[in-house]
Amino acid sequence: MPLAEHLGPVRPYLDELIDRHPGGALRVLPTPVRYEFAANWKVSWDNAADGIHATFAHRSYNLLGKEAETDTVLARNPAATPMVSRAFPRGHSVVDQRPGIPDGPWATMRPLPTSDELVAALQERGESHLLDLATGSMLNVNVFPNLIFVGNQLMVVEPVAVDRTRVTMYLVLAPGAPEEVDLLRLRVDEDFVSFGTPDDLEMFERVQTGLAIEEDEWIDTSRGAALDVVEQNGADDGADDGGTAVEEAARRYGEIVRGDIATEAPVRGYLREWTRLMTEPAELTGRRGVPERERV
């Protein structure tokens, strides 16, 4: 299907990630971080859409922030913030932390190597407003089935086997911004990759081990279901609705489910799409190859 149709109402959020870069220009650093873990690819999708685990799983990252007297976004009680999650048709989802950080993304960052000098350079030129561009937008966009935007990272998830997954993480730079912004992005990126990603990989493999037991066949993913709001046709009770572009997309593509940051609505959403893809017959089309003598 056309890309716009596949994206549906998640497309405006993808546009936001692009448009926050000056001139809408992005550059992907050609030296990605690649890693593999011994678990099914779907656990990475559970992780990307889950807003509750970070407070507990990323203890070392949060302790470092506490030592630096920084209120890192991951250290907060997820149930006590106005942050929201949204599940879209076709398995896409977003985790929007922005409502819970009124002082902006940079306010959640603890000191990093060389960051004092880089920040001072921006401040001296009157460009302090660009500090929020140096860190992620605090909007995680998950494009089913294998593309995840988190922070300033673009992540591609590749199943290798039923119990093995490969992830490639690319750092996205902002070529239209001052050099200091990209240098800060490098520091921010390596910070979480060093202190947060190992926690996730450990949890992934422990989950895979747990899934192998025979005593419990099913997993309960109903958290938040009773409080989730269905934004039918882009209209709801007047809360943050993502803007008119999201409303228009919802009218065309179907309902959006909104919940707090701890809801499992995004998990239920992508699993519904996965189930549909695994059970509905695929419409296959083919075309005749062009004989060698007819090629131009």
Give the angle subtended at the CA of 279 by the CAs of 278 and 281, to the nearest 5°. Answer: 100
**Averaged pLDDT, groups of 10, the chain, 296 residues long:** 89 92 92 94 90 77 65 63 86 86 78 86 90 87 94 93 96 93 89 83 93 87 86 46 52 73 89 90 72 58
In the chain, which ranges are E strands? 27-28, 33-37, 84-87, 93-96, 139-143, 147-150, 153-161, 164-173, 229-231, 256-260
The predicted structure's pLDDT at residue 239: 40
The predicted structure's pLDDT at residue 252: 53
Residues, the chain: 296
Rounded Cα gap, residues 85 and 136, in angstroms: 17
Rounded Cα gap, residues 222 and 181, in angstroms: 41
For 3-213+232-275, which CATH superfamily applies? Naphthalene 1,2-dioxygenase Alpha Subunit; Chain A, domain 1 (3.90.380.10)
- Annotate 103-141 with three-state secondary structure: CCHHHHCCCCCCHHHHHHHHHHCCCHHHHHHHCCCCEEE
The predicted structure's pLDDT at residue 260: 84
Enumerate long-range contacts of 58-61, CB under 8 Å, 24 or more apart: 58/195, 58/196, 58/199, 59/199, 60/195, 60/199, 61/192, 61/195, 61/196, 61/199
Domain ranges of the chain: 3-213+232-275
The predicted structure's pLDDT at residue 63: 73
pTM score: 0.82
The predicted structure's pLDDT at residue 195: 78
Selection from 106, 178, 197, 98 nearest residue 139 by Cα? 98
The predicted structure's pLDDT at residue 101: 77
Query: Is 200 in a helix, a strand, or coil?
Result: helix
